[in-house]
Amino acid sequence: MTARTLTGKCFCGAVQYAVADAFTYALNCHCSNCRRTTGSAFKPFAGITRIQFAVTSGRDNLLIHGEEKTHDAHCSVCGSLLYSVVRDGVYVHVAMGTLVDTPTIRPTAHIFVGSKAPWFAITDDLPQYREHVTD
Ligand SMILES: [Zn+2]
Ligand SMILES: [Zn+2]
């Protein structure tokens, strides 16, 4: 069975991507890096293997912050954080706010709540973890 394809783009539209609607996890990360790269209280992101993700337009407009196998990818025109390459280059964490289409998955937990912004209150009932999800 082939998953539906979702599209996403940055604020200005210079960078566009396609990703299978087959994310294996989705989380809200409250770490200071995610807060700063997005300018938000937390970053909802969804993880998928890198081969199920592709930049479809504006590859030349990517601003890569980091290394080949671990980096944040922004649009160099408008600055949007689109996705991060993580886990030794095997996974992509899509910044869910850049999706155009609605994914099937929903964030299932809050992570790095230990470094949450003190001015933000979590008001839902999702599990909270001090750092990464632990079983
Ligand atoms: Zn842009
Ligand atoms: Zn984070």
Distance 1 CA to ligand 2 centre (A): 32
Per-residue pLDDT, averaged over 114-127, amounts to: 98
Report which bound ligand comes closest to the CA of 42.
Answer: 2
Reduced to 3 states (helix: H, G, I; strand: E, B; else coil), residue 119 is: coil
Pick the CATH number of 5-115 from 2.170.150.70, 1.10.1040.10, 1.20.1530.20, 3.10.129.10: 2.170.150.70
pTM score of the predicted model: 0.95
Distance 123 CA to ligand 1 centre (A): 31
Reported confidence tier of residue 135, pLDDT bands at 50, 70, 90: confident
Distance 73 CA to ligand 1 centre (A): 11
Distance 4 CA to ligand 2 centre (A): 27
pLDDT tens figures, 70-102: 999 999 999 999 999 999 999 999 999 999 999
Reduced to 3 states (helix: H, G, I; strand: E, B; else coil), residue 113 is: helix
Residue 42 neighbours by CB under 8 Å, 6+ apart: 28, 29, 30, 34, 35, 110, 116, 117, 120
With a pLDDT cut of 70, the percent of the chain lying above it is 99
What does the domain layout of the chain look like in residue ranges? 5-115
Report which bound ligand comes closest to the CA of 12.
Answer: 1
Reduced to 3 states (helix: H, G, I; strand: E, B; else coil), residue 77 is: coil
CA–CA distance, 65 with 122 (Å, rounded to integer) = 29
pLDDT tens figures, 14-31: 999 999 999 999 999 999
